[in-house]
Amino acid sequence: MATVLALKGRTLAQDNVLDSEIGVLTEDDHGLQINLRRKGRFIAVYTDESEAKPDEQRMFHDNGLVELCIEYGVTDTMSEEVDDPDHPGRRMKVIIPGIPHADRMHEFYLDLLGRQIRTILSDGTNEGAEVLRMLLARVIKVTCERAGSDRKNERVAAQKLTFTVEAMHDPQFLADVPEEGPIGRFLALLEAGDPDDQKLAELMRAEIPATPEEIEENRARVGVTLAELNALGLGYEPDADADTTIAGVTLDMTGTEPVEVS
């Protein structure tokens, strides 16, 4: 989402920047098509595969390496006659959006659009790009692929940039969301957006629980079970009331009789 906000209105694609519409490029009997209803240049942003190796710990919030994919290209339209569903036996003309074959000018605009994407994501005055970079520890690999038709081996006016990035882990508790931190600034960016973005920010904030006591916070972060914590002598009652009073403790030391302390 930060990538979409960073790019929208700042490239040759203008506001035609799609969020998470995976497979915007599809192929049918006519060749490579696009799932858009208007002619022009487009950018489609989504994440694909991810892989995390949390150092043999049970850290379920680690994102690890993520593929950030940006498809972009030029759309055109064509007309076709099809059966009219409302009038059996009649034909009707429909307009189908599609990707034209690559030519000199299309190649120029694709190169220019790809350059714009890289430049904008590096811009320190762009809050969306700034937040995106804060959410990433590093960029591991960048690949650029030519979109083409498998059916005819056609070269068409579309490309795909894939950034393999190391993403920061998801926030577990409110302590992970300081106002000036990456997640805090990302949520503020959404809250300053349109009603849909504001609703998404509200839903995300609702999923971040308050920070518990220190021992439970540390246990949850590394994935230690309560049984393992008890074995370390650090057991506790997770649902105990804050005003609970400990009436007594039994000390059980190897080689001696247990001693009760009140």
Q: Are 10 and 126 in contact (CB under 8 A)?
A: yes
Q: Are 38 and 16 in contact (CB under 8 A)?
A: yes
| Mean pLDDT within 40-52 | 87
Q: Which of 2-6, 47-51, 221-225 has the lowest mean pLDDT?
A: 221-225
Whether the per-residue pLDDT at 79 is higher than 60: the answer is no
Q: pLDDT (tens digit, 9 = 90+) per residue, 148-165?
A: 555 556 667 788 999 999
Beta-sheet pairing, 64-83 with 154-167: antiparallel
| Mean pLDDT within 167-194 | 94
Q: pLDDT (tens digit, 9 = 90+) per residue, 192-218?
A: 999 999 999 999 999 999 998 888 888
Q: Tokens 């503020």 — which residue?
A: 188
pLDDT for residue 217: 86
| Mean pLDDT within 160-186 | 94
pTM: 0.72
pLDDT confidence tier of residue 251, bands split at 50, 70 and 90: low
pLDDT for residue 201: 96
Which residues, other chains included, contact 103 with Cβ-Cβ below 8 Å and sequence gap of 6+? 157
pLDDT for residue 96: 52
